[in-house]
Amino acid sequence: MIELQTVSKRYGFKHALNGVTLALPKGKIIGLVGENGSGKTTVLKLMAGLLSPNAGVVALDGKTITRRVAAKIAYMPDTDLFYPYFTVGQLFEFYDSQFEDFQLKKAKEIADFLKVSLDVKISTLSKGNRGRVKIAVTLGREVDYYLLDEPFSGLDPMVREDISKGLIRFTDTERQTVLMSTHEIKEVEPLLDELIVLKEGRILAHKEIDEIRDVYGMDATSWLVSLFRA
């Protein structure tokens, strides 16, 4: 389990997170939502061991997350150009050399499923196909947690649909957890088990999707609108 216990993070005088506490169990697909600047990317980077909190604890299975511990967590940044001078195949080989948990065969299978050629240089791909490559190389790692920063941002509906299908097909929903920050709530809601809402660096809500539908009688998008208007 990944846990944040009263975590705060600031950049200079700007507070990105203020006393955030949450826990991510295994076997869930969770959406992380909020307005721009609400702290979503900071949460993901703290979990990935790329940042350290100014206060509080970020832990994986009871151990404080550092870069070493975070080797067990796959993080996909929102960066668009991603090792642009590699071919897709070379990118897979690079990951295979860097991560013991990387499964080259699985990554190639995902690339084939997403219709991405291994021989093409990444810098020549369309944005949609670069998005497919990022998903393939991230899910090619065999880990308990996948942290995805805006995986659908700027992509057309067909690419989003392919990536959604890839997430379902190539993750084990019994033991692996996917946490994704996203603005595309309507499109990803069918994938989600839970929704975490951030506002101004604090947790505004953390609900199961079924609870939102059954208790509030709304879809996730309508519920979010009502939550921010309250």
Q: For residue range 68-102, list pLDDT tens digits in order.
A: 877 789 999 988 777 889 999 999 999 999 999 99
* Cα–Cα distance for residue pair 116/154, rounded to 1 Å: 18
* Cα–Cα distance for residue pair 70/19, rounded to 1 Å: 22
For 55-65, write each residue's pLDDT tens digit. 999 999 889 99
71 phi/psi in degrees, rounded to 5: -60, -15
At residue 84, the pLDDT reads 86
Least confident of 173-177, 183-187, 197-201: 183-187
Q: Is the pLDDT of residue 159 over 90?
A: no
Q: What is the mean pLDDT of the chain?
A: 91
Helices 127-139 and 157-170, packing angle to 10 deg: 10
At residue 78, the pLDDT reads 87
All domains of the chain in start order, with CATH: 2-229 (3.40.50.300)
At residue 173, the pLDDT reads 82
153 phi/psi in degrees, rounded to 5: -60, 125
At residue 230, the pLDDT reads 67
Percent of the chain surpassing pLDDT 70: 100
At residue 37, the pLDDT reads 87
* Cα–Cα distance for residue pair 172/189, rounded to 1 Å: 18
Work out the burial of residue 95: count CB atoms within 10 Å of its CB; fewer than 13 is exposed, 13-18 middle, 19 or more buried.
buried
